[in-house]
Amino acid sequence: MNATAPWWASGLFGVLGALIGSLATLSLGVLNRRTVRRRLSRAEKVALYPSLTRAANKLARLRAWPAETGDPEDLLDTIDGIANDIAFLAPANVATTVIDLLAAAEKLSDAVRTIRQGRPGYGNTVAKSQLAPLTAATGELKAAIQAYGTASRADLEITTPYVALYP
């Protein structure tokens, strides 16, 4: 019984070994690049996600009257810019909550602008006729912030629930 390999086997094993070695190196390189891309994207998300919450909370806490307390349009522009950046990076479940948050922010900004363009109520306060729309718009924005906070934390794999600082 002869235990030697055929003459062509050593060449075949050499070619197969080189092919397997290069495929392993190539696949590890692809996995490494994917990990780096995911890490960079996560770092960008960690910076952007809380900034949207911060800007939206500023708008939600903005006093509608007197008009000297801040500009709702400037806050809305800030929210819009951050929302566009997040929509570019975020998965669909987070982007959907960003769309809702942006719509609620626009509604509250419009309510504040309407109040400021009108006449003040008794004692230089918000008129009673404008109080209900303002309260509703503020509540919608706070609910949208809560939904966004929950979705963005889930995307970052943070398992604890989002707790709003300004409920």
Give domain status of residue 75, yes or no. yes
Distance of alpha carbon 146 from alpha carbon 141, whole angstroms: 9
Give domain status of residue 89, yes or no. yes
Of 150 and 4, the one with more pLDDT: 150
Q: Does pTM surpass 0.85?
A: no
Q: Print the domain residue range for 124.
A: 40-155
Give domain status of residue 165, yes or no. no
Distance of alpha carbon 6 from alpha carbon 83, whole angstroms: 67
What size, in residues, is the chain?
167
Chain mean position to CA 151: 8
pLDDT tens profile 124-154:
667 788 889 999 999 999 999 999 999 999 9
User: What DSSP element (H or E) covers 40?
Assistant: helix 9-60
Give domain status of residue 163, yes or no. no
Give domain status of residue 160, yes or no. no
Count structural domains, the chain.
1
Q: What is the CATH number of the domain that holds 79?
A: 1.20.120
Number of other residues whose CB lies within 10 A of the CB of residue 150: 16
Q: What is the pLDDT of residue 73?
A: 94
pLDDT tens profile 39-80:
558 888 899 999 999 999 999 999 888 777 789 999 999 999
Give domain status of residue 73, yes or no. yes
